[in-house]
Structure 1
Amino acid sequence: MKNEDRLVIALDVSQEKKQVEQAYLDPTGVSAPLYLNAIWRLNREYGGTIDTEKLKLVAHFEQTQDIDRLSIVIVCAVSTCDQHYVIPGLNLELTLKEGDYLRLHEGEGVSCKYTLEQIKTFITKGNQTLKNIWIDDDKHVSLCCIGKN
């Protein structure tokens, strides 16, 4: 970045735990296909027979105030019974006990949440400066304007 350049980025702001978890698993079930798509593709493309009706979606918000870590949302499918599957295309067998978790996303979390202090810390560590920040009235999203030191 040049001195006159600016980067504007939207970042989720940390919120109340229950509110975040409900947002990622809306009670209407609209978001379920998004999370279950990976299993459906595994079944379709590799011959798996995983029964998504025997899985229950759960979201967990790991919230931290540590300025060097992010709060993250983890979404998993929990087995509602003991089950065993063969996935021929991967030469793999999968045994799930009741209560076992399957992570449905790559990486540490499906979404990151930030406190204002975490935002400032990460920008500073990137050798940049927070020029301005706007946060919506409900404190869900921040819009950050970042520039060179």
Structure 2
Amino acid sequence: MFLADVWDGLAASPKALPAKYFYDAAGSALFEQITALPEYYPTRTELRILDERGPALAALLPQGAALVEFGSGSTAKLRRLLRHLPGLSAYIPVDVSGEFLTEQAQALRGDFPDLAVEAVVADFTRPFALPDGIRERALAGFFPGSTIGNFEPGEAARLLDVFGRILGSGATLVIGVDLVKDRDVLEAAYDDAAGVTAAFNLNLLHRINRELDAAIDVEGFTHRAFFNARASRVEMHLVSRRAQSLRVAGRSFAFAEGESIHTENSYKYTLDSFRALAARAGWASIEAWTDRDGLFSVHALRRDA
């Protein structure tokens, strides 16, 4: 799958690669560094909302519920939420990065010995099976970090529908959604002064070299991020510094100077535009909370059918 997606993406015009491949062990670690950067407001702002609104959020979940976190990565946000959820019966983190997922699940079991933790290594964009016995409990979903913004709006609606089919009728979904705001704030968050986001983007090429028998001069590319106001999204690209040819598992791909690989979109929503998107996928809005500056939002949704 990885090789096929890389071949297809580099052969396309314009060139593009799926953002889900950022998150090998090195990429996951770099992303955790990004979340602590001064320019990167989403993580600290979402954590503040979870702290302030945790009791109200917890009141929406049934006692004894099992919480499924899609694309769990670090458990930092889950830990902040757990203090408000003493009646939670199980936690099911789901992620494609198996090594990182296992480490996080083991640490969580050590810190919360009374909580059943059942890690699932899976691509959360596709239907997957929950662990035995979990489906008999009331289910809730957790999708923080505005990861929903990495998907085209149509794909985001389909993803929300996948979540709904996994969780079932009547389930609650708690989801973080980044909001439209000043261009300078947005672009700084994706092109930090320390260059960590650039390293995160370039790690995708390192991963291709490591895993796919590729010969890519990573220094021949540079990171670029900008806000596309018409599409209401921040775009990340890897831009070729010169005319060059890459080899990946025996296939060659030519690049002109300045030609880019589009590696990520991060769509920004208003409260109303996200509610409308969720409704298309069968989710009704129960509540939405924002910080005082209107940078970020956390939504509680209920599955209608």
Q: Secondary structure at the match of 2:214?
A: coil
Q: Deviations over 1:19-58 (max 9, x none)?
A: 2122112121012222112211222233323222221111
Q: Does 1:145 align with 2:304?
A: no
Q: Give me the whole-angstrom Cα distance separating, in 2, the residues matched to 1:44 and 1:8.
A: 36
Judged with a 3 Å threshold, the aligned counterparts in structure 2 of structure 1 residues 130 and 49 are, in CA distance, closer, same or farther, namely: same
Q: Distance in 2 between matches of 1:147 and 1:85?
A: 47
CA 1:49 to 1:6, structure 2 compared with 1: closer, same or farther past 3 Å? closer
The answer as to 2:47 corresponding to 1:47 is no
* Separation (CA, whole Å) in 2 of partners of 1:144 and 1:14: 15
Match of 2:194 among 28, 38, 43: 28
Change (3 A) 1:48 1:124: closer
Task: Encode CA deviations 1:64-112: one digit per residue, 9 max, x unaligned.
Answer: 5xxxxx733221111111222333x2x211221111001224xxx2x22
**130 and 83 in structure 1: CA distance in 2 versus 1, 3 angstrom threshold:** same
2: distance between equivalents of 1:6 and 1:19? 31
Structure 2 unmatched ranges of 5 or more:
1-168
CA contact (8 A) 2:222 2:241 kept: yes
Greater RCO, 1 or 2 (C-alpha within 8 Å, sep 6+): 1
Change (3 A) 1:134 1:82: same
Which protein is richer in strand relative to its size?
1
Give the letter aligned to residue 260 of structure 2. Answer: Y
Aligned residue number for residue 103 of structure 1: 262
Partner of 1:121: 276
> Where in structure 2 are the equivalents of 1:85-104 lying within 5 Å?
85-87=246-248, 89=249, 91-104=250-263
% identical aligned pairs: 28
Partner of 2:232: 71
Tell me the amino acid that sits aligned with residue 271 of structure 2.
Answer: L
In structure 1, how many angstroms separate the alpha carbons of the residues matched to 2:174 and 2:254? 46
Letter in 2 for 1:139: G
Structure 2 SS opposite 1:117: helix
How many Å separate the matches in 1 of 2:205 and 2:303? 43
Q: Aligned pair in 2 of structure 1 residues 53, 143: CA closer, same or farther (>3 Å)?
A: same
Q: Please, what TM-score do these two structures have when normalized by structure 1? A: 0.77
Structure 1 stretches of 5 or more lacking a match? Answer: 65-69
- Which residue, out of 239, 244, 250, partners 1:83? 244
**Contact 2:289–2:297 at 8 Å: present in 1 too?**
yes
Distance 1:8 1:102 in 2: 32
Indicate the SS of the match to 2:267: strand
Give 1 or 2: higher helix fraction: 2
2:122 corresponds in structure 1 to none
Superposed displacement of residue 125, structure 1: 2.4
**TM superposition shift of 1:124:** 2.8
**Normalised by the size of structure 2, how large is the TM-score?**
0.40
